[in-house]
A and B are shown apart, each in its own frame.
Chain A
Amino acid sequence: MIRFSKVNKWYGTYHALVEISQEVGKGEVVVVCGPSGSGKSTLIRTVNRLEEIQKGEITLDGTDVHDKSVDLNHFRTKVGFVFQQFNLFPHMSAVDNVCLAPIKVLGKSKVEAKDRAMALLERVGLAHKASSYPQQLSGGQQQRVAIARALAMEPPVMLFDEPTSALDPEMVGEVLNVMKSLARDGMTMMCVTHEMNFAREVANKVWFMDHGQLIETGTPEAFFSNPTSDRAKRFLSEIGSH
Chain B
Amino acid sequence: MGEILHDYLPVLLIGQFPNGPLGGLALTLILSVLGLALAFPLSIGLALCRTSPYRALRLPSTIVVYIVRGVPLVMLVFWSYFLVPVLVGQTVSAFTTLVVTLVIYQAAYMSEIVRAGIESLPKGQTEAARSLGLNYGLTMRSVLLPQALYNMLPSLISQFVSTIKETSIGYVISVHELTYSASQVNSAVLTKPLQVFLTLSLIYFAVCFALTRCAYAVDRRIEKRRAGVTSPVESTAHDPLLQS
**In the complex, what's the smallest C-beta–C-beta distance from B153 to chain A, in angstroms?**
13
Q: Does A25 contact B (CB under 8 A)?
A: no
The A69-85 residues at the B interface (CB cut-off 8 A) are 73-77, 79-81, 83, 85
Q: Does B82 contact A (CB under 8 A)?
A: no
Q: How far is the CA of A196 from the CA of B130 in the complex (A)?
A: 30
**In the complex, what's the smallest C-beta–C-beta distance from A142 to chain B, in angstroms?**
8
Chain B hits for A132, CB < 8 A: 235
Q: Quick one: closest A residue to B229, CB to CB?
A: A135
Give the contacting residue for A77; candidates B127, B133, B146, B235; CB below 8 A.
B133
Binding site for A on B (CB under 8 A): 122, 124-125, 127-135, 138, 142-143, 146-147, 150, 225, 228-229, 232-236, 238-242, 244
Q: How far is the CA of A231 from the CA of B235 in the complex (A)?
A: 42
Binding site for B on A (CB under 8 A): 48, 50, 73-77, 79-81, 83, 85, 87-91, 100-101, 104-105, 124-126, 128-129, 132, 134-142, 144, 146, 149-150, 153, 173-174, 177-178
Q: How far is the CA of A73 from the CA of B138 in the complex (A)?
A: 11
Q: In the complex, are the beta carbons of B132 and A125 less than 8 A apart?
A: no
**In the complex, what's the smallest C-beta–C-beta distance from B18 to chain A, in angstroms?**
45
* A89 touching B234 in the complex, CB below 8 Å, given contacts A81-B131, A135-B225, A144-B241: no
Q: Quick one: closest A residue to B127, CB to CB?
A: A50
Q: Is the interface of B mostly helix, strand, loop or mixed?
A: helix
Q: In the complex, are the beta carbons of B132 and A76 less than 8 A apart?
A: yes
Q: Quick one: closest B residue to A96, CB to CB?
A: B142
Chain B hits for A101, CB < 8 A: 132-134
Q: Quick one: closest A residue to B238, CB to CB?
A: A128
Chain B hits for A150, CB < 8 A: 131-132
Q: In the complex, are the beta carbons of B133 and A105 less than 8 A apart?
A: yes
Q: In the complex, are the beta carbons of A104 and B142 less than 8 A apart?
A: yes
Q: In the complex, are the beta carbons of A73 and B241 less than 8 A apart?
A: no
Q: How far is the CA of A140 from the CA of B134 in the complex (A)?
A: 25
Q: In the complex, are the beta carbons of B134 and A138 less than 8 A apart?
A: no
Chain A hits for B127, CB < 8 A: 50, 81, 83, 87
Q: How far is the CA of A150 from the CA of B129 in the complex (A)?
A: 10
Q: List 19 A-B contacts (CB under 8 A).
A: A77-B133, A87-B124, A88-B128, A89-B125, A89-B147, A90-B229, A91-B146, A101-B132, A101-B133, A104-B138, A104-B142, A105-B138, A125-B239, A135-B228, A137-B232, A138-B236, A144-B241, A153-B132, A174-B242
Q: Quick one: closest B residue to A127, CB to CB?
A: B240
Q: In the complex, are the beta carbons of A125 and B133 less than 8 A apart?
A: no
Q: In the complex, are the beta carbons of B132 and A149 less than 8 A apart?
A: yes
Q: In the complex, are the beta carbons of B124 and A105 less than 8 A apart?
A: no
Chain A hits for B234, CB < 8 A: 138
Q: In the complex, are the beta carbons of A73 and B133 less than 8 A apart?
A: yes
Q: How far is the CA of A145 from the CA of B233 in the complex (A)?
A: 15
Q: How far is the CA of A138 from the CA of B239 in the complex (A)?
A: 11
Q: In the complex, are the beta carbons of B122 and A87 less than 8 A apart?
A: yes
Q: In the complex, are the beta carbons of A174 and B241 less than 8 A apart?
A: yes
- Contacts A89-B125, A124-B241, A153-B132 known; list 14 others, CB within 8 Å: A73-B135, A74-B133, A76-B133, A80-B131, A85-B124, A87-B124, A87-B127, A135-B229, A136-B235, A137-B232, A137-B233, A153-B133, A177-B241, A178-B241
